[in-house]
Amino acid sequence: MSARTHSLFRLAVCLMGLSVGCAAAPDPALLKLGAAVYRKDCVRCHGPKGEGVARKHDEPLTGDRSVESLATYIQRTMPEDDPGSCSAEDSAAVAAYIHGAFYSPEARAKLFPVRKELQRLTHRQFQESVADLLAGFGKVKQATPTGGLNAEYWQSKGMNKKERSALKRTDAFVDVDFGTNSPTADITADQFSVAWSGSLWAPESGTYEFRLRTPNGARLYLNSDLASGDANRRDDSDAKRQNATIDLWVSSGGQMREATAAVPLLGGRSYPLRVDFFKFKEAHASVRLEWRPPHGAWSVVPSQVLSTNASTSWVVVSTPFPADDSSHGYARGTAVSKAWLDAVSRAAVEVSGVIDGRLGSLTGSREGATNRVTALKTFAGTLAERTWRRPLSTKERATVVDGFFAKGVAPETALKRSVLRILTSPEFLYPGLDGRRDDASVAAQLALALWDSVPDEALRAAAQEGQLKTADQIRAQAARMLSDPRARAKLTGFFHHWLKLEEATDISKDPKAYPGFDEAVVSDLRWSLETFLEHVVWSERSDYRELLQADYLYLNPRLAAFYGAKVPVDAGFVPVKFDASQRAGVLTHPLLLAAFSYHRSSSPIHRGVFLTRNVLGRTLRPPPMAIEFMDDRFDPSLTMREKVTELTGKASCMGCHATINPLGFSLEHFDAVGRFRTVDNAKPVNATAEYTTAEGQVVRLSGARDVANHAAESPEARRAFVKQLFQHTWKQAPMAFAPDLLGRLDAQFLRDSHHIQRLWIEIAVAGVTEGMETKR
Amino acid sequence: MNVLKHQGLDRRGFVRQLGLTAAAVPFLAGLPSLNAARTKRPPQRIVFIFTPNGTVPPLFWPDAEGPHSTFKRILAPLTPFKDRVLTIQGLCNRVRGDGDGHMRGMSCLLTGIELFPGNIQGGSDTPAGWASGPSIDQELGRFLQTRAETRTRFATLDLGVAVPNRADPWTRWSYAGPNQPVAPVSDPYQVFERMFGQMKDQESLGSVLDGVRDDLKRAGKNLGKEDRALLEKHATFVREMERELKDVRRQKLARPAPALEPGVSTDNDDMPRSSVMQSDLLVNAFANDMTRVASLQYTNSVGQARMKWIGVDEGHHSLSHDPDLNEGSQEKLAKINVWFAEQIAALAKKLQDTPEPGGQGTLLDHTTLLWTNELGKGNSHTLENIPFVLVGGGLGFRSGRAVKFEMTPHNRLWMALAHAFGNEVKAFGNPKFCDKGALGLA
């Protein structure tokens, strides 16, 4: 862009112009006046470049107000000791001057240029990479949910010895009480066995708890490679060397028994699952498999995550890592610490142990065999190339592989050391460290951008064949990669950030005020929201605006009963249409409305802050002082709106609350659990409000639908969405790649009818192609 | 050369089996207990050794009470330790209830308490589940961990030789509590990993850090100031870790990790080799004071060891069902039991050859090997006159003699052991078998 040759001010205006239409350049005389007024009246508190002055006003003078809005604000509130003393003309001049000099994000970007930083892998990237690296040595098989598991019912003879397969069918889940009866007419009630098998889909990454309950014999196998050719995991079968995730095989005491296991799983992957069950002469027979997913409640493992198809198992690193920096709204690896290095080292030891336990299948060699050393070296060499995402030089191979296979060192020990060396090396931990700009680096960048992982076979092949040179070639790869479950998992993570779902961990409400709003409902609401996001994003239209404007919610019977809608009793989650004036997309999804509420009442402030920052993409400074909302301090006859108005009435509050409150008030038709209401505290709800945009336009709102429509049309909201998705993808600001990149991506997004998938592809392509030109 | 090997069980599975998680094990801590000066009493140790299917009584029991003269055939391998051998005849497993003789023989042996009803059916009697109380080895381990002067890295070390990898009342004799069977580890490489794995991992890690630091330095050269600072910080932490690992390595073990023969499986044919390896590990664990209580379980109740290496091709349990008049079978059973006695003698010898670290005498002076069985005799499935042979010392029992009791519940022997360790229990297992108090063995 030619802006580099222009004045700072012109650059700022032109960039702004991308979204609001290019405004005329301000009059130089006005700027001169503004600078003079600033020096005279403002600089003593705000400093020469708005950086602030200690003990006077130490907040930097930055924000997203337009020049006009800034002018109004200055005239009304400045200077602090004599508000209103600044004339309209002076205020406008100061506003124009500081906006271009240091106030606007664009001016700041120029003053403090954003640099593409060297970053280490995040925890997620480390885990995803390891899972794919090891799975890559076998055939990868993923199973999308089919709504149940294979079930085979057997007549037993003599304890758990299978005599005859009597029934094969698909069961939606494992939760069955046979009582004193037999499962089918063909089987006797005193002794029988059942095997359920298939796959389990993990919707998000985290620790999942599983619970098996039975008064009989049962075992759970999860995420382990099961021996083939075994009708049931009988004690005397060749499966005897397999460890069960939960083992309740021996019934003891005639009581219902239960056992739980915590299993770390990565989202967007399916895991082999098997439950074996047998009854032998106990009075009753029953078995239930339950889980508690991250953020969820205990429930029977639901059919919507089960599949009758087989999956490969994945190595999930269970070593805990310190949390990555997320202060910018996305996890990034900008800092190293002792705790992080310790975690990386431990994780590398963990992985080297896993490899050590699977040497046979990974290297195709046996201990003591003549080809052992060669096989282990070959394996280590391949692992190094895939881990470092590029071919190794002879010298590098000698250092990280061959050098460990010395005389007097057992080959297995040598391999362990080689694996540790490869996984703790900067080449793995800091992608792009070597500064190469070749096909392999393009493949590496794409895999990180869309999967947080290492390139798969297709990407490696494309790199090797020189098929990653042009933007079109890269675009084609990105489009292919989007159909991979790993891409869905990463995008799901983005929506969790965008909608602040990670913070929404405790949504419990006062059970007296909201009877029935229990853990199960909250868990269902999470599913409902995830289903909605999946549906919109991965539909053909993939329209960003539908996220904001949809007039339907996904409900199951339990949610339908709670939110006053009707769905068939045996339905899973189905879309239910609502009055469009009432419900509007994610803004009125009950999970978010409940998350941004107090224990007993709605919270217009929390809702307003969420809308301001996340949906409309505006910046808010932290409040000058923390004020706790104490419900009992108010006149008990007030509505929530009246209380918030009273609480935030001071001028020092209204700097931000003039923006926050109207947005929050527009959602006052929803109580603390997200049910529509017309009355609050015995008074009719007032959800009308006037919201002033960053450009100073006043938008009249009369409810959630108006906010949604405004957000869907708002260029600043759209740009914020593009920016956040870019940052989630690349873990750097778009400004670090090119000053005009965000504007270009936003313009393309607009041309593409707000198509989210296409936007993401363009983000991936732009990150790679810009990266080629921008040296760190 | 130390070689690690795993049998179809990945490391995480192994760690899970031990009831540990990576998260629970600090990487630079929890090293083997290093015999830190424990001034007070000399250590007391015990190993519970199980062999199955009853003995051959006429070739086993001394004829008379009192000091041993010449051992009969099965105990003959223990002759070098004659002065330290205490044989106890007349003890019975009186526990009744659910489960067949083998199941109760096994799961009530160290627990002295009934099995729960369950879904595991033997040849006769009613189906049963797990024992309804803890076993004496676990109780002793728990007790010693409650005192600073006897606390060790592992409360107990639960070892096996060719124990099949299935969990039922025939394969479990050690219980942490009701319904809490403890799985013995039959794979010596797994035991090695448990005892020294962390140390070996640290050694391996220490050997690569130097190279990582070189890489960081080299990569930093092509970077700008800020990015280079990140790598320099990383390198500083690597250096710190190197230093810490060196400090850890400076703490030497009292005895170095034993060298294990590679390529030994947990299968029947490798029993002689895995038996040697397990006893080497056990002696090392004692010498390094990693534990005071251990169990060593040869196969399982109803175990079908085929001891081809001594010319016995038939399964042990099948042979044990043959009548007394079948001389061929009796001869084979004698050979089998002699082989077991030889394993115990070999272990005793190793303990005798190892000086007590930081103390007086040898390990055997402070260690008692307790050899027992789930049955008195195989073909009758009797739970009476169960073999109990104590070898070694440290418990204050008068050794070098045979004692005989009349139909005495074996619970009382466990009480005597507890008391010898300073754990003044009023009963152990089912209290109704304990009313006469601990056996007097001093």
* Residue A308: predicted pLDDT: 97
Task: Give Cα separations from B196 to A416, B25, B36, B95, B202 (angstroms).
Answer: 15, 13, 18, 39, 10
Domain membership of residue B281 (yes or no) is yes
Angle at B159 between CA A250 and CA B376, to 5 degrees: 75
A379 and A303 in one domain?
no
| Residues of A whose CB is below 8 A from B238 | 341
Q: Does A87 lie in the same domain as A39?
A: yes
- DSSP, collapsed to helix, strand or coil, labels residue A175 as strand
Q: Residue B134, CB half-sphere, CA atoms under 13 Å: how many?
A: 13
- Tell me the mean pLDDT in the region B307-313: 95
Residue burial A24-41, b: 16+ Cβ < 10 Å; e: rest: eebeeebbebbbebbeeb
pLDDT digits (tens, 9 = 90+) for A412-457: 999 999 999 999 999 999 998 988 889 999 999 999 999 999 999 9
Q: Given pLDDT bands bounded at 50, 70 and 90, which one contains residue A22?
A: very low
The token pair at A247 is 């083992």
Tell me whether A341 touches chain B (CB under 8 Å): yes
- Please give the average per-residue pLDDT across A647-670, as a whole number: 89
Q: How confident is the model at residue B211 (pLDDT cuts 50, 70, 90)?
A: very high
Q: DSSP letters of A401-419?
A: TGGGS-TTS-HHHHHHHHH
Residue A553 carries which DSSP code? E
Tell me if A122 is assigned to some domain: no
Query: Amino acid letter at B404?
Result: K
Query: Residue B17: is it exposed, middle or buried by C-beta count within 10 angstroms (0-12/13-18/19+)?
Result: middle
Domain boundary among A246, A277, A307: A307
Nearest neighbour of B219 by CB, restricted to A346, A412, A426: A426
Residue A408 has pLDDT above 50, yes or no: yes
The confidence score (pLDDT) of residue A488 equals 93
CA B166 to chain A, closest CA, distance in angstroms equals 6
In order, the DSSP letters of B388-427 are EEEEE-SS----SEEEEEEEEETHHHHHHHHHHTT---S-
pLDDT at residue A64 greater than cutoff 90 = no
Instruction: Name residue A342's amino acid.
Output: D
Q: Would the pLDDT of A774 be above 70?
A: no
Q: How far is A490 from chain B (nearest CA, A)?
A: 26
Most confident listed range (A23-27, A69-73, B283-287): B283-287
Judge whether residue B36 has pLDDT over 60.
no
Which residues sit opposite A272 in a β-bridge? A199
Note whether residue A770 is domain-resident. Answer: yes
Model confidence at A773: pLDDT above 70: no
Q: How far is CA B410 from CA A630, B93, B418, B429, in A?
A: 69, 6, 13, 10
Is residue B248 in some structural domain? no
Query: Pick from A250, A348, A430: which is nearest to B168 by CB?
Result: A250
The predicted model scores a pTM of: 0.83
- Give the pLDDT band of residue A25 (cuts 50, 70, 90): low
Structural domain span for residue A760: 436-483+714-776
Amino acid, res. B70 = T
CB-based contact A252 B118, cutoff 8 Å: yes
**Percent share of chain A, pLDDT over 70:** 93
Q: Which residue has the tokens 């298939």?
A: A198
Same domain? A422 vs A526: no
Q: How many domains does chain A have?
A: 5
Q: What is the DSSP letter of A501?
A: T
In a domain, residue B51? The reply is yes
When pLDDT is averaged across residues A236-246 and rounded to a whole number, the result is 64
What was the pLDDT predicted at A177? Answer: 97
Are B82 and B399 in contact by the 8 Å Cβ rule? The answer is no
Q: Summarize the confidence of residues B163-190 as an average pLDDT.
A: 91
Q: Is a pLDDT exceeding 80 seen at residue A621?
A: no
Percent of chain A's residues with pLDDT above 90: 64
Under 8 Å between Cβ of B213 and B238: yes
Long-range contacts of A41-49 (CB under 8 A, 24+ apart): A41/A78, A41/A79, A41/A86, A41/A94, A42/A78, A42/A79, A42/A94, A42/A98, A45/A79, A45/A80, A49/A101, A49/A102, A49/A111
Peptide bond into B357 cis (omega under 30): no
Q: Measuring CA to CA, which residue among B331, B439, B430 is closest to residue B390?
A: B439
Claim to verify: residue A694 and residue A720 sit in the same structural domain: no
Strand pairing partners for A222?
A273
Question: Residue type at A502?
Answer: E
Strand-pairing partners, residue A218, are A248, A277
* Cross-chain Cβ contact A413/B204 below 8 Å: yes
CB contact under 8 A, B121 and A281: yes
Are the beta carbons of B87 and B62 closer than 8 angstroms? Answer: yes
* B243 shares contact with chain A (CB less than 8 Å): no
pLDDT in tens, A210-235: 999 999 999 999 998 776 555 445 54
- Quote the pLDDT of residue A13: 32
- Residue B219 reports pLDDT greater than 60: yes
pLDDT of residue A3: 35
Judged by a CB distance cut-off of 8 A, whether residue A114 touches chain B is no
On whether residue A491 sits in a domain, the answer given is no
Domain assignment present for B386: yes
Instruction: For residues A97 and A86, give the distance between their C-alpha atoms in angstroms, rounded to a whole number.
Output: 15
In A411-510, DSSP assigns E strands to none
Query: Strands A269-280 and A306-307: what pairing?
Result: unpaired
List the one residue out of B330, B433, B310, B327 whose CA is nearest residue B377.
B330
Q: Are A75 and A88 a contacting pair, CB within 8 Å?
A: yes
Phi-psi category of residue A473: left, alpha or beta, with phi > 0 → left and psi -120 to 50 → alpha? alpha
- Same domain assignment for residues A655 and A720: no
Q: What is the pLDDT of residue A59?
A: 74
Question: How far is Cα A400 from Cα B210, in angstroms, rounded to an integer?
Answer: 12
Residue B226 lies in a domain: no
Nearest to A404 by CA among A394, A387, A416, A390: A416
Q: State the smallest CA–CA distance between residue B88 and chain A in angstroms.
A: 33
Same domain, A177 and A266: yes
Kindly state whether residue B26 falls inside one of the protein's structural domains.
no
Contact status, residue A271 vs residue A314, Cβ threshold 8 Å: yes
Does A223 map to a domain? yes
Does residue B22 register a pLDDT over 50? no
Asked if residues A700 and A690 have their Cβ atoms less than 8 Å apart, the reply is yes
Residue A487 has pLDDT above 90, yes or no: yes
Structural domains counted in chain B: 1
Q: Is the per-residue pLDDT at A108 higher than 90?
A: no
Pair type for strands B45-50 and B293-298: parallel
Q: pLDDT tens digit string along A350-375?
A: 999 999 989 988 998 988 889 999 99
- A168 DSSP 8-state letter: E
At residue B348's C-alpha, the angle toward residues B343 and B352, to 5°, is 150
- Can you give the CATH number for the domain in which B154 is found? 3.40.720.10
Task: Answer left, alpha or beta for residue B126, where phi above 0 means left and psi between -120 and 50 means alpha.
Answer: beta
Whole domain around residue B93: which residue ranges? 31-187+266-433
Question: pLDDT tens digits, residue range B353-395?
Answer: 999 988 889 999 999 999 999 999 999 989 999 999 999 999 9
Determine which of A470-474, A505-509, A543-547 has the lowest per-residue pLDDT on average: A505-509
SS3 track for A62-115: CCCCCHHHHHHHHHHHCCCCCCCCCCHHHHHHHHHHHHHHHHCHHHHHHHCCCC
Q: Is residue B206 part of a domain?
A: no
A417 to chain B, minimum CA–CA distance in Å?
5
Is A345 in contact with B17 (Cβ distance < 8 A)?
no
**Could you tell me if A113 lies within 8 Å of chain B, comparing CB atoms?**
no
Q: Report, as an integer, the average pLDDT of B33-55.
A: 78
Same domain, A244 and A356: no
Contact B399, B84 (CB under 8 A): yes
> What percentage of chain B carries pLDDT values higher than 90?
75
Lowest mean pLDDT among A231-245, A277-291, B119-133, B398-412: A231-245
Q: For residue A663, name the pLDDT band (cuts at 50, 70, 90).
A: very high
A370 and A263, same domain (yes or no): no
Residue A272 lies in a domain: yes
pLDDT above 50: residue A7: no
Residue B117, SS3 per DSSP: strand
pLDDT score of A771? 62
Contact A416 B204 (CB under 8 A): yes
Average pLDDT, chain A: 88
B 70-129 residues with CB below 8 A of A?
Answer: 115-121, 127-129
pLDDT at A16 over 70: no
Would you tell me which residues 219-238 of chain B have a C-beta closer than 8 angstroms to some C-beta of chain A?
219, 222-224, 226-227, 230-231, 233-234, 237-238
Same domain, A386 and A362: yes
For chain B, state the CA radius of gyration: 24
Reported as a pLDDT band with limits 50, 70 and 90, residue A772 is low
Do the beta carbons of residue A549 and residue A712 sit within 8 Å? yes
- Three-class secondary structure of residue B173 per DSSP: coil
| Chain B interface test: which of A246, A341, A359 (most B C-beta within 10 Å) | A341
Q: State how far the Cα of A49 lies from the Cα of A61, in Å rounded to an integer.
A: 8
Same domain, A738 and A706: no
Residue A222's CATH number: 2.60.120.1560
The runs of H, that is alpha helices, within B80-156 are 101-107, 136-145
Is residue A166 over pLDDT 70? yes
A80: Cα separation from own chain's centroid: 42
Give mean pLDDT, residues B402-428. 97
Specify if A490 maps to a domain: no
- What is the 8-class DSSP label of residue A613? I
For residue A672, the tally of other CB atoms under 10 A from its CB is 22
Q: Which residues contact B399 (CB under 8 A, 6 or more apart)?
A: B83, B84, B85, B86, B390, B393
pLDDT at B9 over 50: no
The confidence score (pLDDT) of residue B109 equals 98
**Residue B251 domain-assigned (yes or no):** no
User: What's the DSSP call for residue A502?
Assistant: T
User: What is the rounded average pLDDT of the residues B263-287?
Assistant: 94
Answer yes or no: do A351 and A380 share one domain: yes
Residue A572 has pLDDT above 90, yes or no: no
In terms of residues, how long is chain A?
776
pLDDT band at B165 (very low <50, low <70, confident <90, very high): confident
What type of residue is A668?
Answer: E
Q: Do B120 and A159 touch (CB under 8 A)?
A: yes
Q: Note the residue count of chain B.
A: 442
Instruction: Please answer whether residues A263 and A222 qualify as being in contact, where contact means their C-beta atoms are separated by less than 8 angstroms.
Output: yes
The better pLDDT of the pair A100, B7 is held by A100
Residues A608 and A645 in one domain: yes
